[in-house]
Amino acid sequence: MTAFPFYEVRFNGCTFRNCTFESSRFGDSQFINCRFTHCSFRDAEFKACTFYDEAGDSGSEWQFCDLSETRFLKCNLGSNKIMKSKGFLLTLTECSAVALHLDLAVHRRIASRTVIGGIRCSRTKMRDAVLRNGDWEESKFEHCDLRDADFSHSRLTGASFQNATLTNARFNDAILNEAAIAHAEIEGFDVGVLQSYDNLVVSRDQHEAILNTLSIRTIN
């Protein structure tokens, strides 16, 4: 079903296995408690779709899927689990993804070299999201709500969290070299728990809070 349009459809408790939806378009549709296994959504677009069961506070599950260059716009991915899948340049824009679990390969291997991709999240609600143990190099989480999100043991080299809300987000043993957290809300952010943060980009308004985590005080 490559490049096929799906609009105002509803699936409840369905399993999609070995399906190809590449370059397909989905709009105003519902996928409640569905399972996607070994499916390809490369270059697909989801607009105003929901994958979250509000009554049961549960989401759909994705395993071994290809979500490379897939775009989600104003979708609800709350409590979804996207595991052991590909997500090169996956995009989430103005979505609700509270308690989303992500385990993605976000870079592309071509012959003997790796093409850095990352994911692109903008103005998305990702409170309590779990992205631990991931390689999120060059990913963007700008203007996102990442309160209590878990990035522990992740590689975030060159990632951008500019203007995000990082209140009480966890970065235990994470690598934030060349990353940017400028103008983000960083209450509870502790530089001391990071594995490394070489050339971390911050804004002037954050200096005092960051120095406090290192037990350094500023006087006039």
pLDDT, tens digit (0-9, with 9 covering 90-100), for 113-169: 999 999 999 999 999 999 999 999 999 999 999 999 999 999 999 999 999 999 999
Report the alpha-carbon distance of residue 9 to residue 27 in Å, rounded. 8
**Predicted local distance difference test score (pLDDT) of residue 84:** 98
**Predicted local distance difference test score (pLDDT) of residue 1:** 57
CA 166, 44, 19: angle at the middle one, nearest 5?
115
**Predicted local distance difference test score (pLDDT) of residue 187:** 95
> Could you tell me which residue, 6 or 132, shows the higher pLDDT?
132
**Predicted local distance difference test score (pLDDT) of residue 216:** 80
**Predicted local distance difference test score (pLDDT) of residue 22:** 96
Residue 97 confidence (pLDDT) above 90: yes
Q: pTM for this structure?
A: 0.94
Segment 44-59 mean pLDDT: 97
All structural domains of the chain, each given as residue ranges with its CATH number in brackets, are: 1-125 (2.160.20.80), 131-220 (2.160.20.80)
Report the alpha-carbon distance of residue 64 to residue 61 in Å, rounded. 10
Residue identified by tokens 């590689």 is 155
